[in-house]
Amino acid sequence: MKTPVIPTPVDGLCWLTGASSGIGEALLADLVKEGWRVVISARSEDKLDALARRHPGKVFAYPVDISDDRAVATTVAQIEFDHGPIVRAILNAGVYISIEAEHPRFEDYAKTFDVNLKGAAACVCALTPRFCERGKGQLVIVSSATAFGGMPTATAYGATKAGLLNMAEGLAIELYRYGVKVQCVTPGFVDTPAQDDNAFPKPFMVSAETAAKRICKGMNRTGFEITFPKRFTWILKLIYALPRDWHIALVRKQTGWDKPPEEKKPA
């Protein structure tokens, strides 16, 4: 049986999804500084091309919509044909859509599930057979602290992020014996364009650059979970460790959803 080893830039390529903005864009800068050759994906071809032009010979743009599983499979095959094996994959692409239960739209749920959950599944299907065959690889799945328990207006987003944490745990159990390292990132609030649609207060929010540094540090260590800022995510973990009726009541009160609808407006 093989024990997973954290790959280094000499072992091969890093594939980063959701690289065109926010956490992904900040991560790219740090990965390049660490010496990685990075293949970047998102839908915005021009943004990816501009990023690749900044790092000639080190960063390569492969636009793809991750909710299209066939396109993802073809893209991964093409990347490896063009540049050699992917040894670290960071599944970071995701969308946040706020949904209020008074007037939910099915298409908002469907889009969130398609990108965040089905998109990650498409990437996993394209990658893990390759990692298993080579007995090497690192798969990093970006979830969120909303994975720990339910939050108002995040009923689609939170469901996908809880699903991703569960998916990553299962993969970590299965892939260990192939020498493949699986990790999951569970950040609190990060100041990126994804937060523009979030009317909630955002305690302990960190910059995308700080988030990228925490993720890079975590990826070079062996721990399964990369969580930050810990003063926020550990409080959430404690709250969600309470009996469910207690934590539901506590979160309802803390977020103001204990008030009558006419008084309650998201802060």
Q: Which is nearer to ligand NAP, 17 or 153 (CB)?
A: 17
By CB under 6 A, residue 27 contacts ligand NAP:
no
* Per-residue binding letters, 174-193, with ligand NAP (x by CB under 6 A): -------------x-xx-xx
Q: Which is nearer to ligand NAP, 145 or 180 (CB)?
A: 145
CA distance 145 to 229: 10
**Position with the least CB separation from ligand NAP:** 22
By CB under 6 A, residue 61 contacts ligand NAP:
no
* Backbone torsions φ then ψ of 142, nearest 5 degrees: -90, 110
Q: Which is nearer to ligand NAP, 131 or 189 (CB)?
A: 189
Q: Which is nearer to ligand NAP, 176 or 240 (CB)?
A: 240
Q: Contacts by 191-200 with C-beta closer than 8 Å and gap 24+?
A: 192/21, 192/22, 192/23, 193/21, 193/22, 194/22, 194/94, 194/95, 194/96, 195/96, 197/96, 197/97, 197/98, 198/96, 198/98, 199/98, 199/153, 199/266, 199/267, 200/153, 200/255, 200/266, 200/267
By CB under 6 A, residue 39 contacts ligand NAP:
no
End-to-end C-alpha distance for the chain, whole angstroms: 52
Single out the segment in contact with ligand NAP by CB under 6 A; choices: 22-30, 75-83, 125-133, 234-242.
22-30
By CB under 6 A, residue 153 contacts ligand NAP:
no
By CB under 6 A, residue 142 contacts ligand NAP:
yes
Q: Which tokens sit at 208?
A: 């995308």
Q: What is the 3-state secondary structure (H, E, C) of 89-107?
A: EEECCCCCCCCCCCCCCHH
By CB under 6 A, residue 44 contacts ligand NAP:
yes
Output the DSSP codes for 61-97.
E----TT-HHHHHHHHHHHHHHH--EEEEEE------
Apex 63 CA angle, 217 and 95, nearest 5? 65
By CB under 6 A, residue 149 contacts ligand NAP:
no
Q: Which is nearer to ligand NAP, 19 or 251 (CB)?
A: 19
CA distance 128 to 138: 10
By CB under 6 A, residue 226 contacts ligand NAP:
no
Single out the segment in contact with ligand NAP by CB under 6 A; choices: 21-29, 124-132, 239-247, 253-261.
21-29
By CB under 6 A, residue 67 contacts ligand NAP:
yes
By CB under 6 A, residue 22 contacts ligand NAP:
yes
Q: Which is nearer to ligand NAP, 20 or 128 (CB)?
A: 20
**Sites of contact with ligand NAP (CB under 6 A):** 17-24, 42-44, 65-67, 92-96, 115, 119, 142, 144, 187, 189-190, 192-195
